[in-house]
Structure formats: C-alpha cells, structure tokens
Amino acid sequence: MTFEWKGVMPAVTTKFTTEDEIDLTSFKHNLQAQLKAGVHGFVLGGTLGEASTLLNHEKEALTKVALEVANGEIPVLMNIAEQSTKGAIEAAQKAEADGVSGLMMLPPMRYNAGPEETITYFKEVAKETSLPIMVYNNPVDYKIEVTLDMFESLLDCPNIEAVKESTRDISNITRIKNRFGERLKILCGVDTLALESLLMGADGWVAGLVCAFPAETVAIYELQRVGRIAEAIAIYRWFLPLLELDIHPKLVQNIKLAEVATGIGTEPVRAPRLPLSGAERERVLKIIDDGVSTRPELPNYQNL
C-alpha cells in the first residue's frame, strides 16, 4: 500500500459497553461501514476516540481491529497526544510497533509550550520514528498555534509531511500552498469548513460526522475532486446542520447519537463524559432526525 495524505479519513469513535469496556464488535462494525463507503484511512485515538480516557492496552486492541478491517487497503493512523516529549516518543514507537501507517500529532498537552518548545517537541518525536507525521494545528481548542514560520523549521524533518488544518482561517490553506507547495499536505480538520477547504486546495478531510454518515462524506470529497461542484455543494448544504454537531464541546456525545440513528454505532461514552440528557438531548436528536429523514440520493460516487 502506498501511503498518501488525501481523501476522507474518519476520526473514529471508540465504542464502549454499558459496563465501560471496549466494545470491539461495534467498533469493527463501524469501521466496516466506513471502508464500504470508500474512506481513505482511519485515524484512531483522537478527541472523538476519547483518547484521553483510554488505557494503553485498549489502544492496542483498537489498533489491531482497525488493521484487520483495513487489510492493507487503506492506512491506519494513531493520534499522539501526550504531556511530555518522553511520553510522546514512547507512544509513537508503540504505535509503529503495533503496525500503524502514520501518526497524527498534537502539541504538548496541558503545558502551554512556546514556539521553540513546540518545534523541539515535534522534532524530537519525528527523529525517533520512521512513520510519516501529520501535525494537528488546532489553536482554538488546544491553545498552541503552529505558525508557518514554525513549519518552516519542522519541515527539516522529512517525515513531517502534513498538517491537519484546524485554525478556522480558510485563507490559511492558500498561505500554506503559497509557501510550501506540495511539501506540506493539508487535511481539513473542521467539518463545517471541509468543502471550502477542499476547493481551496486541501488534499483531504479528517472528518467527524463521517462516523455516522460515511457515504455522504465521501461523496462530497469525490464529487469535488472531479469537478462536479454543484452536486457536492447540494449534499454539503444538506449536511451542514449535522456537521455543526462536530464543533461543540460535546461533539463525542453528539456524533455517537448520530451513529445510533444511522445504525452503525452505540451511545455509551466514558466518564467523565455523560450521555446527553434533557433539552440538550432533544435538540441534538431533532437535528439528527431531520437529517436522516432528508438524506439525499447519492450519485455513483465511487466510480467517478
């Protein structure tokens, strides 16, 4: 398999039983639905995957199932979100030993690292793994921005190859392309800016609502790829109220409810998260129900 930073890569959710154990059967079912819909990779251990609550042996079990489902057809990536450089190196090396194809990396967690510290953190990890790395640049949620000047230094590392662009500044796509050309691949990390980002030159989309609506997500990517923009826009406009469930502190609960509605997921989350309740739950369910009841008819997007 040739690894390419392109296409739709679900930031997959982790499934739990009501007894708070990993539900590998439901996890596998969802991944199979993603693969059937034509996604281009799996990203494990992100925010949607509730990574901060997972134990190491649980991550290993999820990786094993994801690799089994992918079966060499698409890459499996592991997210690295650690508090120390030592911990990040250890996690990266463990992921490589487990057989993943690449890494998504957040800046240091909890500590608000400065530019030099952030650059050093990424470089030290990159030196200790042969895997290709996508830097997750999300200053809105994680309070550390990886600027273009910082990327200039980071690209000294040949295996730092891509950025998950989540600054919410759509013009940053053009800045990156103008400065780095094809040296730094771009994957949009914000569902509500995905089509705009792709049209401005992003190479792919690390998606959230794809976990519940894989076919619609991949259809948008494939249609825009071949220039059938009006059709992509029509699906995207239908999708937007659902996509907005991703840009919310309770995105995990929101998206898991959507997975239940489409028959490819389960609702349990791991504490301290709790399931949605009351008026908040009813509001989210109405958005999901409205979306499910008006799902668009899709063209034969897998053969474009």
DSSP string, 86-97: HHHHHHHHHHHH
Residue 300: predicted pLDDT: 97
For the entire predicted model, the pTM comes to: 0.96
Whole-number pLDDT of residue 73: 96
- The residues spanned by each domain of the chain are 7-303
Phi then psi for 210, rounded to 5 degrees? -55, -25
Give, for all 304 residues of the chain, the pLDDT tens digit: 678 999 999 999 999 999 999 999 999 999 999 999 999 999 999 999 999 999 999 999 999 999 999 999 999 999 999 999 999 999 999 999 999 999 999 999 888 899 999 999 999 999 999 999 999 999 998 899 999 999 999 999 999 999 999 999 999 999 999 999 999 999 999 999 999 999 999 999 999 999 999 999 999 999 999 999 999 999 999 999 999 999 999 999 999 999 999 999 999 999 999 999 999 999 999 999 999 999 999 999 999 9
H helices of the chain, where?
Answer: 24-37, 56-70, 85-98, 115-127, 139-142, 148-154, 171-180, 194-199, 214-225, 229-243, 251-261, 278-293
CA distance 275 to 273: 7
Domain 7-303 has CATH 1.10.357.10: no
Q: Who's near 60: CB < 8 A, 6+ residues apart?
A: 94, 98
CA 121-126-127 angle, to 5 degrees, is 105
Quote the DSSP letter at residue 49.
Answer: T
